[in-house]
Structure 1
Amino acid sequence: MLDVLALEEIDRDLYRSTLLFADPFPLYGGQVAAQALYAAGRTVGADRLPHSLHGYFLRSGDAARPTIFRVDRDRDGGSFSARRVVAIQGGEVVFSMSASFQVPGPGPDVQVQETPRVDPPGELPPLALPRLFSMESRRPSQPYEGRFPNRFWARATVPLPEEALVHACVLTYLSDIGTGLSALPENDASPGPTLDHALWFHRPARLDDWVLMDMVPGTVSGGRGWYTGSIATPSGVLAASFTQETLFRPGRNPFRPGR
């Protein structure tokens, strides 16, 4: 897991991934998004934590070649820092991201909706999460039928450092796996590659402890499918929310566990 996030600093605000491996699928979107967030996080103060990111998957990447990450420092204010990141392979942008970081401040802490109530992970059968390094998962009862579960527990199988940025990046890595659209009928069309991904970090969560990922299908139109998701702690604390849009075109597509 920490090898996924390892980046070589080439120059100021310029980084290169170091984990290379053969993969029959295009570069997993959660990997490049997590690395982009980590690159951006290395350009802000340690007291500023990510609170949101918005990413676009522009081209297929290759896991067997390094990715270059260029960070633009858009603004550093009294409480917030804004960054833009482009991920480049072969001279072309494969992914772009805007990310915002904040110095946590005082204020109310309100969670309006309860997170789903499911059996604890220790009582559930294992679930294989394809393409993820150093992650394990458990499958609770499902709200929808589909090829891939819409709801599951997951955690890193290796100890993670205390650094909050690392846990936010591992959460990002996890958030792109699967699809919330797998429950929809596939007679005419089915989910394809990810187009864009947005993620909001509400509260800290350790990703070497269990978190519950829950995805809810939303709508399909114009050859695109859209769904929402949440990631919560075992005690029901909402750690993060995300939305994702994928291609949803006519013709049966083989299940792809990530971009």
Structure 2
Amino acid sequence: MKVVVVGGSGLIGRKLVGLLAAGGHEAVPVSKSTGVDVITGEGLAEAFRGADVVVDVTNAPSWGDDEVLAFFSTSARNLAAAEQQAGVRHHLALTIVNAETMPDSGYMRAKVAQERIIIESGVPYTIVRATQFHEFVSMIADAGTSGDEVRVTTAAFQPVAAGDVAALLAELVDQPPLNGIVNLGGPEVQPMSTFVQRFLEATGDTRTVIPDAAAGYFGAKVDDSSLTTRDGARIGATAF
């Protein structure tokens, strides 16, 4: 099958393209660097010509509330329109677990809007909702840093390896559209502050972690159910 990976030059996209190619698919990574712009629509028609499946693993270039909402809403509409024109049979999209439970976060609101557009587009779809990636724990630490201290929420956290996310997407490419949602999390659940502490210790970072139940998560209020999966979720194989 011809599988177009939108955002194919990113963390998940690069891994997914490799897995698809190894599985015998014609894996086509597209991004701005290949002349495809999901905001203007430039290059989408040509990229999608003959495509069986499109996988959207794009990320917004800016995380401001208005900017991120505009990115995911506009890109989702443009992708759907180009898919309809090209006769694409399956749209796969990567979003975030429990995004609708964190309305304080502009990013989460944008992901909810993206999902709604996908569901209403008329293109057969599968949405994969993943927890935060192992690879982003360093960013979480930096976001909570003031001086030599890192203030991090104690809410339960269940990060997943980017490789496990790509593996699930590659698996779903070979399956019919679910017209539904698959949730994915990592095999370990601990306070986010514990994961950050483990990361700092493993990398020789001397910053001090301050566990703080009120710290939030990039501006969103969170509890033990916000950043973890529910019953029935897929669980990645790779421990933190």
The TM-score, its normalising length taken from structure 1, stands at 0.28
Please identify which structure carries the higher helix content. Answer: 2
